[in-house]
Structure 1
Amino acid sequence: MIDEFLAGDLSAVEEAIHKAAAAEILPRHRRLAEDEITAKSGPHDLVTTADRLAEEHLTASLTALLPGSVVVGEEAVDHDPAVYEALHGDAPVWIVDPVDGTRQFVRGEDGFCTLVALAVRGETLASWTYAPALGQMATAIRGAGAWLDGVRLSSGEPAPGAEIEVATSHPDYTTDAQKRALLGLRVPGVRPRPCGSAGLEYLAVARGALDAVAFSWEYAWDHAAGLLLVSEAGGEHLTVSGERFRLGGGNALPFTAARSARTAERVRALLTAQ
């Protein structure tokens, strides 16, 4: 069933994402009331009415497109952590981050996106990265490439000898050991900077506009869509143990996703140098 679905016209998935954003996200962009914003685990972990309603919208529409599928969404897991276990089951799973970059969304900036990925038994098969305020839609299908607004993406290699730019985790989301690992990026020839929306950082890597990311958390909704996008554009991802990132968790952290295998190995080596 899943093979037939992926071989068919996937425009209905894009339409569902567009509709959710048009109904629940864009009307609240720069118009959020104070009572529509709350903190979850800390002051930097925000959730808005747009997050919750967009996830509900997508849960209904995506499961209707693929009968028998289930949804692992950021807000549903926050309410019931057991929902996350669906990643280890046999049913097709829609992995949803309704508003990735909630801090940027709350500040009224345009750097946020909606992330959707379709996975089965821990393997991501398709992904959609939609930046509604920027009017951009990036898609990837395993084995068939990555695309941004109809143009095929190719991440390429950094220019020989050029400084590489790496977007990194916010310090509030790192352990002391992970902080020490990330300090390994503070060497000549590497320019680390704090990351914005994870989904848009992955898109930048897939486009070749950013050389790598180095992240210290592993929630599937932040990474599933972007890792497939980077891989299908020609990039690579590695944990500090040298293994590829596993969607189901249990990864050695931090990990990197980079525009080329050579760059990924360079970043991984720096993360293990401390």
Structure 2
Amino acid sequence: MIQNTETIDEFLARHSSDVEEAVRKAAAAEILPRFRRLAAHEVDQKTGPHDLVTDADRKAEQHLTEALGALLPGSVVVGEEAVHANPAVYEAIQGEAPVWIVDPVDGTRQFVHGDPGFCTLVALAQHGVVRASWTYVPARDRLATAIRGRGAFLDGERLYAGPPEPGRDLRVATSHPDYTTEEQKRALLGLWSDGVAPRACGSAGLEYLAVARGELDATAFSWEAAWDHAAGLLLVEEAGGVHLTRTGEPFRVRGGNDLPFTAARDAATARRVRELLGAS
């Protein structure tokens, strides 16, 4: 446990490995034992058939809320399931206290169907700036981390996104149509252009990791929920990538973004995708 007088930088220097341990323990205790073993009563719908929640989501978030709050006294936790239960919880992102932004199971549909393409996302932010992030892939035991100004790493190895290979179609992961307005659908149609190979996205956290690794050229997402984006956007930034909204500004975790927005391997790719989305 740290003292309240420590800064975020001091906390991260001393306790980033403790956060990693907390993430791994939550997955080991609450997620992996239920992977491919979910009973019907452990799965519910939230807003529709594509928006699922399981006992693993709820219990892992509770585990992380307790562990992360204990590590950083005075911090608050904004988790996807807590916000679903009480939308007012989301307002903590606008406050002054350090905020843990948590998605216990990002890619719940994949998790429910026994697909290993899901992850646990944790980000630490303050004053609207994401300072550190942890992207853990429990089914593959892989952990990506980023601390602002210190780089992005996957299992301890430095990540560098780099520019796309010349002459190849841009690989872009896009929003599921269930989560877009009619205006956003029209904007996303701009990606169906020569030189672009769009596809539907899976787990947002894993798509960001793919961008940071240089395996995917860009994303184009149309929703703002901070738990889906905070961890991955910092990972992409620290791997040398860029994220832009349609107004040309970086995505803000506090909201108010012009959507859809993109995160890309390099600035030139981000600008091209932004133009295809109908830059404003």
Q: 1:37-95 CA deviation, whole Å, 9 max, x = no partner? A: 00001110000000000000000000101111110000000001010010011111000
CA shift, 1:8, in A, is: 1.7
CA shift, 1:160, in A, is: 1.3
1:173 to 179, 188, 211: 179
Secondary structure (helix, strand or coil) at the match of 2:91 reads helix
Q: Mapping of 1:1-274 within 5 angstroms?
A: 1=6, 2-272=8-278
Q: Is the contact between residue 184 and residue 273 of structure 1 (CA under 8 Å) also seen in structure 2?
A: no
Equivalents in 1 of 2:10, 2:74: separation in Å? 14
Q: Is the contact between residue 181 and residue 273 of structure 1 (CA under 8 Å) also seen in structure 2?
A: no
Equivalents in 2 of 1:158, 1:20: separation in Å? 36
Equivalents in 1 of 2:212, 2:165: separation in Å? 15
CA shift, 1:3, in A, is: 2.3
Percentage identity across paired residues of the two chains: 73
Equivalents in 2 of 1:101, 1:28: separation in Å? 14
Q: Which amino acid aligns with 1:84?
A: Y
Query: So what's the TM-score if we normalise by structure 1?
Result: 0.99
Q: Which amino acid aligns with 1:231?
A: E
Q: Which amino acid aligns with 1:258?
A: A
CA shift, 1:121, in A, is: 1.1
Query: Aligned Cα RMSD in Å?
Result: 1.0
Secondary structure (helix, strand or coil) at the match of 2:56 reads helix
Q: 1:3-40 CA deviation, whole Å, 9 max, x = no partner? A: 21022241110000000000000000000000000000
Query: So what's the TM-score if we normalise by structure 2?
Result: 0.97
Q: Is the contact between residue 246 and residue 279 of structure 2 (CA under 8 Å) also seen in structure 1?
A: no
Equivalents in 2 of 1:84, 1:26: separation in Å? 27
Where do 4+ consecutive residues of structure 1 move more than 3 Å? Answer: none
Q: Which amino acid aligns with 1:230?
A: V
CA shift, 1:188, in A, is: 1.1
Equivalents in 2 of 1:29, 1:20: separation in Å? 13
Equivalents in 2 of 1:234, 1:41: separation in Å? 36
Equivalents in 2 of 1:273, 1:118: separation in Å? 30
Q: Is the contact between residue 248 and residue 279 of structure 2 (CA under 8 Å) also seen in structure 1?
A: no
Q: Which amino acid aligns with 1:104?
A: Q
Equivalents in 2 of 1:28, 1:190: separation in Å? 38
Give the unaligned 5+ runs of structure 2: 1-5
Give the unaligned 5+ runs of structure 1: none
